[in-house]
Every structure is written in structure tokens, then in C-alpha cells.
Structure 1
Amino acid sequence: MQWNSSLVQEKISFNFKNPELLFLSLSDPSYGKQINQPGSDNERLESLGETVLDLIIIDYLYHHFPYLTISKMTALRDKLSEKERLTNLWFGLGLGESYPFLDVNEERHRLRVKSSNPFEKSLKALVGAIHIDRGFSQSYNWVNKQLIAPLLERHQKDDKERVNPEKQVNLLGTTCLRTIAFDYLYRLLPYVSPGILNKLSKRLISKKQQIEYLKKLTKEDWKKITFEQDKISKKSFPSFIGAMFIYFDNENPKTRYRNSRKWFRENCINEDEVLYEAISLLLKEGIPQKWIIREILGYKSKNYDQGRERFYEIMDQSDTKHISGEEE
């Protein structure tokens, strides 16, 4: 399909390094089926964008509205990310009449008023695409400019006293952990459906896993967040992640999320265990071993034998403790 990405980029006031990500964010599942490329749609980006959007909003509220109670913070988060508001923003950007690419019989103005519509889903996918293309800092700036600031900036008070700091850090950390886990899986497992990614993500951040992560923390890890220790419980891994996010934010706001994600990946994740769980789920769904070796493990035809060895190395882990636990 011939299309002009610059027209969309002008409407959203954002330039993509990789316009293919923008195109993908604009591709409804119905369009993917129409062009005989089911899976080449915005569903994965939508799921990623939803978690990124939540973190952006909570991050903003934590820093700009410290005087809010947790209940008011979460209520405001829900209000900012409600479907009708995201749909209105999509049309406000001038995208609704032409995007996303659809193959449906209903007219767009009728689709717009539905509780679940392709416009709010594409807005989330666009946030996910910006995040993958340019990073969390740029997606934060875009969402702040387009969604948050126009609604909240005029209501902000000059009150710096933080209400329930321990609960606020926990909320920030819980949201950050959820985003980091899904983001990690999104990048590790290309083409894998949002359903499987969500299932793996829930396992990765289950309470049982969080207890294991706490056991891995070192004195050096705790030293990094000395300035936040009075605000967190040493029994709460999300609170620790929240404090680490703040620590990296103080070091460099532009890299706070990237460094938090990197720390989690390097200090908490056993990638072979994650791959084992992912491949097991894919095999259970009838996905061919050959596809897994090529698309998930990244071994193309000329290196296929090497990829098969890697496949059996991962799956031959009968004595390994795999990620599992409560899916919360």
C-alpha cells in the first residue's frame, strides 16, 4: 500500500525514525486480514501502549500532584485514559476520518460512539509505537503535550507535601514493573500474540516471583535508594522498583525508564527460563518448532542447525525452576 507517513507525522507533531512502526500502529486487525497478513496489525503495540500510557500518567501525577491520595491518583489515571477521552483525542488530532486502516462495513462516525472502538485502540498503539521508536522519554513528552497538560496543568497547586509517600512509591513501582515486564517480553518475543505476552507478563511479576527478586537484591542495590528508604517497605519489590525509578530519574530524567528496565533485566531475569515458558506456550498452541527457531530465536535458514541446538538447550531444563506463580 502506498501511503504518505509525513501527513500523519505532521498531524501528530511527531517524526518517526522508523515510519513502518507508525504504519503498524495505524493497522487495525481487520485491515491485516484484508491484505492477507493476519498478525501484521496494531494489537501488540496497543497492549504495550496501554501499559506505557499508565506509567506516563502515574509518573506525571507522582511528580506534579504529590498532595493527592492514592485513591484520587488512580481515579485521575482512569479518567485520563478512559476510552472516550482517547477516542476524542484521536479525532482531535485529525486522524479519525482516515485512520486507522480498516476493513469494516460500518461508517467511522458510528464506530466512534461504540464502547470499544478502533480509534482508542489505535491511540494506545501509537503511544506504543512512539515508545519503541524513540523511547519512554519521548512518549512521555508526547502524551504530556497532547493529553495530560491540556487537562491538568491549570489545576496544579503549589503544594509539594507528599501524601502517603510509601503508597505513592508503591503505586509508581507497581505500574513501572508492569510496563517493564511487558516491554521486555514485547522486544524478546516478536510476532507473539498479546494474549501470550500478557500471560507471561503476569507470571513474570507474580507475587511468588517478586519474593524471588527481593532475595536477589544486594547491599549495593539498597545503597542506591538510601534517600528513599523511609518511603518504602523492604518487603515490597514494587516499592523497590519505584524507588529505583526515582533514583534513575534523579540521575538523568531522559534515561530513567531505560536504566530501570536494564537494571531489572540484568538483575532479575533469567532469559532462558522466560524463553522456556514462552516456547512451551507456543508449542501448546500448535506453533511449529521451525517457526519458533526462525522467528523467536532468530536463526534463519543458513544457521538453522545451530538454532535447533539452541532450541533443545533451552527446552532441556527439566531441573530448572521456571517462572510461575499467581497471575496478578
Structure 2
Amino acid sequence: MDRPAPETFATKRDAEVWLTKKEAEIIDEDWTNPDLGKVSFKEYGSDWVNERPGLRPKTAQLYEGLLRIHLVPTFGDLAVNGIKPAHVRKWRKTLLDSGVGPVTVAKAYRLLKAILNTAVEDRMIKENPCQIKSGGKEESPERPTLTVRQVFALADAIEPRFRALVLLATFGSLRWGELAALQRRHLDLEARTVKVVGSTTELKDGSVTIGPPKSAAGRRTVALPEIVISELRAHLDRYTDDRDGAFVFLGAKGAMLRRSTFTRAWTKALKGAGLSGVHFHDLRHTGNTFASQSGATLRELMNRMGHSTTRAALIYLHTESERDRKIADGMGRLAEEALKDEDQEGSGT
């Protein structure tokens, strides 16, 4: 099939050079058919999400929202092969300048890059126009870490049915969805452990689904301190049905635990405990910090947190490195004082 060149050439020699390059690309199977990339980004992006196997409902919901709100308004009518690096740079800057959070912008950029990586694999484009260094890196602000006293003040201030929830989130380093999916059979109070095998996902239509944890590493067994076990015993006796499959934590009206119905109790408890700006997830962050301060190794932290990579666990070991520097400084002062004493004795003073 004959195809016209994308431009006219000043000389016959220029045309021959262009044709020779194209023939070499075809021989090397490196030629990109320009017709394939003429599909609109809106169509290709939507198909890309629908064709992803095994997407968790919340992830599919996230992708759909990022596409609809942040990608399609800018790139939707462009052909996939019409998106250039300059378009991507301008789009990202416009989002940030308009006040869209940097974390959201990073997620949108990663999704755009993933979609266009597939376009490269499909030979629709020759290279990915997403070329911003660290464009997909999330720079989340440092979250607060509570003290032990603050954790118990919060547990004292919250509705009694949620007291054990606060303590288990902290000292078990459990996520919200893992707590909401927790059943009586997953607790072994004699062994002082909680088994994490599932997690809830709340969708925008109000439904709640229960599925496996975010990753294989999320399926784990976490040991608990005795102080939490006694609280769990009291909670189970008062609020949880005797059935093995009964959910440990429920809303005030006996329905499955949801963030939307829990928010009011959480806000009231923060006020009662004299705290502000604390998110529920900060309890897990606090518990991870406590585990690190208790001497947990990198692998132990990863297992406890349910992470398969070292990146998140290293955040908490950073705290320990600061403490270790303080120890080293103290040792240095002891050495300096000892040497000073020896010098004074040697000089006879």
C-alpha cells in the first residue's frame, strides 16, 4: 500500500534519504503506522482502563475519575499520536497552577504515562511524550505522629464501641479497610494475634465490597500487646455477635462500618482529646513508628505493615537513625570527657 510522505522535500536527494530511513525501519520492524495513532485519546484511554485484567473496584474507580476530570478535558479530542511532550508539560503546569493537589497531579501523570506506554507497545507512537523527570512522584506532606498518651486520650474520647478500633488501628498497624472487614474468627486472643485476610472498599455509589488486601504481603498475622487484648475482650463481649463470621466492628445501628458514618464520631473524639488535623490513617502511621522505636528490623516492619517493598518501612527506620545519631553523640561526649580527665591527670592538675 502506497503512503504519502508527511511533507514535501526540497530536493530529490532529501526524499530518497527519508525513504531509505523508512525502509530500514520496516526491515527492522521499527516502523510505526501513522494511521494506528489517529484514534482519539478519549477512546483509547477508556478502552485501556476497561481492558486492564483484575483491577480492584476502587482502582478502576480512581482511573475513571482521573480520566474524566483531569485527562480527557485536555487530551480527549487529540489523536494519540498528536500528543507531544510540550502538551504534557503545559497540562501538568496548568493543573498545579489551578490548585489541584500535587498528589492528584502525580497520579494523573502516572496514569497518562501508563496509557501512552501501551500505545508505544501497540506501535501507535514511537516514544512516550511523558518525559517529565519525577513527574509521577508523590510528595505527600509529613503526617503527625501521636504520643501514647494522645492515642489513649483519643480512645477515651471516642464512642465506647470504637475504643478498641482506635487501639487496634494503632498497635496493630491496620488500615481502615482491614479493620472494617475484620471478623471474630480472625482474632486469636490467647495467641494475641490478628489475622488480616480481607479489606473493604467503599465505592462512590455507596456500596461496600470485601476483597483481598492490596497485595499478597497484605495477608499477614500481626502480634498484639496485652493492653490491646484486654480491650478487645471487652469489645467482643459487648458489641460483637458470637458467630465466627461476625464483623468485629459495626456502626452504631449494627450496619457495616463505613467512613462516612464514622466521620462524625471521629471529629467529636478529636475535639474531646484536644487534637486537630489528625486523620484516622495517622493511627497506623503512629503504630508503625512505635514498632520502629521498639527495635523492629526492616523485614519485621515490612511484615507488620503488610508491604512487599522496603520503601515505606524505611521511612520509619529513618526515625531510628536519628535516635542512633543521638546515641552516638552521647557516646562521643563520654569519650571526650574521659580523654579530658586523663589529660588533666597527666598534667597534674
Length-normalised TM-score, structure 1? 0.29
- Rg larger for: 2
Q: Which has the higher contact order (CA 8 A, sep 6+)?
A: 1
Higher strand share: 2
TM-score of the superposition, structure 2-length normalised? 0.28
Give the helix-richer structure, 1 or 2: 1
